[in-house]
Amino acid sequence: MVNDKVGGEEIVVFWTEGTASPLDTEKLEAGQDVGAAVAYSRQGAGRMLHFIAQNGIIRDEETCSIWNIFGEAVDGELEGEALTPIISVNHFWFSWAAFKPETRIYQP
Residue 44 pLDDT class (50, 70, 90 cuts): confident
pLDDT tens readout for residues 50-104: 999 999 899 999 999 999 999 999 999 999 999 999 998 877 788 888 999 998 8
What's the pLDDT at 14? 93
- Output the CA torsion sign for 65, 68, 74, 79: positive
How far apart are alpha carbons 95 and 86 in whole angstroms?
Answer: 21
Q: At residue 37, does pLDDT exceed 90? A: no
pTM of the model: 0.81
